[in-house]
Amino acid sequence: MVPSPTAPTPEAVSESLMPAVGAVRRLLRRLAGPVVAAAPFEVSPAQREVLLVVGKRAGRSVAEIADELGLAPNTVSTIVTQLVGAGLLVRETDPQDRRVGRLRLTASAQEALDAARARRRGVLHEALGRLGPRRVAELAAGIDALEALAEELRALERER
């Protein structure tokens, strides 16, 4: 099937996708506030990602988090050590394999992440409510496309 002349090209989409996604992320962060406002230091983007992954499912190991984020295990281990030291993560020994540490958020970090998630959802809900139904439907359709794009990027990463 030949694309119609008005169909967007991959080049055109790639030129506008990154700035749009970046703007949404930055604006949400500014409007909803930081993920962990009570941290004794400013949480870096990599630390934030580790916290979010652990927050999705407690009990993951450093290796599992590194795999999900596409980072080296020693990098994640360093980040985990920093977050444990800051009182945001707890590292517990796996009862089945004492060589493996399992991670969970501290109660205060869980509360902070839950509050941040609620703030982000509130801001998104408000902004989406200002859009017309057609735009909301377009965004909903675009979510499937973004998930498909993420899967293709994962495939490229595995191939390299």
Q: What is the mean pLDDT of the chain?
A: 89
**Complete domains list, the chain, with CATH:** 34-131 (1.10.10.10)
Asked if 82 and 36 count as a contact pair (C-beta separation under 8 A), the reply is no
Query: Could you please report the per-residue DSSP string of 91-113?
Result: EEE-SS-TT-EEEEE-HHHHHHH
How confident is the model at residue 1, as a pLDDT? 57
Residue type, 132: G
How confident is the model at residue 8, as a pLDDT? 87
Q: What is the mean pLDDT of residues 32-42?
A: 71
How confident is the model at residue 2, as a pLDDT? 60
Asked if 60 and 103 count as a contact pair (C-beta separation under 8 A), the reply is yes
Q: How far, rounded to the nearest angstrom, does the alpha carbon of residue 107 sit from its chain's CA centroid?
A: 20
Tell me which residue of 114, 110, 112 sits closest to 58, measured CA to CA.
110
Whole-model pTM over 0.85: no
How confident is the model at residue 6, as a pLDDT? 79
Task: Give the residue ranges of DSSP H helices in the chain.
Answer: 10-32, 45-56, 62-69, 73-85, 107-130, 133-159
- pLDDT per position as a tens digit, 8-23: 899 989 899 999 999 9
Q: At what angle do helices 10-32 and 107-130 cross, to 10 degrees?
A: 120
**Which of 24-38, 56-70, 118-132 has the weakest average pLDDT?**
24-38
- pLDDT per position as a tens digit, 40-85: 567 888 998 999 999 998 999 999 999 999 899 999 999 999 999 9
Which of 128 and 44 is assigned the larger pLDDT?
128
Q: What is the mean pLDDT of residues 88-111?
A: 92
